[in-house]
Amino acid sequence: MYVVFFLGLAVVFSAASLIRRRKELSALRIVETVLLYLFIFNVGCSGLFAFWGHAFFADRAAASIGWAPGSPFQFEVAVANLAFGVLGMLCIFFRDNFWLATGVGCAVFLLGAAAGHIREMLTAGNYAVNNAGPVLYLGDITIPVLILVLLAVRRRLAPARRLS
């Protein structure tokens, strides 16, 4: 499952970076490091991967979600994923307000997707692996909420920096 894979990469890279800089550790550095790698892997890479799947393997992606193949809206989902994938990767170069906008926008998109998946579970009995599995509870709910929490903690830890 790609969501678990990218989260694993975020954890490994965060840990490696923090271990490498252990003499410079602070709560702010820890939060910013974890946020950076969540943005790179769980927003950036995950968004690009989802774009690739929805755009170029649309019927296979639709089947894994429990959707009917051939919907033109799937390409729109692909492009939305591409947009967030690009934003996640740009977080390498841009910080502060850019991280906030990327995190909030991504959370709105993913939590909205979660609501759609849950509605499909309740109304259509759609428990397909990519509708009701790790993509839902980890990718669409846990990770965006974690990013929002870390952004709030970051703001609290760095009030002197202009993060608004």
Q: pLDDT tens digits, residue range 75-92?
A: 999 999 999 999 999 999
How many structural domains are present in the chain?
A: 1
Does residue 83 form part of some domain?
yes
- How far is Cα 161 from Cα 11, in angstroms, rounded to an integer? 26
Residue 164 lies in a domain: no
Among the listed residues 56, 52, 42, the one whose alpha carbon sits nearest the alpha carbon of residue 109: 42
The answer as to whether 78 is a domain residue is yes
Q: What angle do CA 94, 99, 100 make, to 5 degrees?
A: 140
Residue 136 C-beta-side C-alpha neighbours within 13 Å:
18
Q: How confident is the model over 121-155, as pLDDT tens digits?
A: 999 999 999 999 999 999 999 999 999 999 999 99
Joined together, the tokens standing for residue 40 give: 């790179």
Q: Which helix (H) or strand (E) holds 30?
A: helix 27-37
Q: Is residue 163 part of a domain?
A: no
122 lies in which domain range?
A: 2-157
pLDDT of residue 161: 59
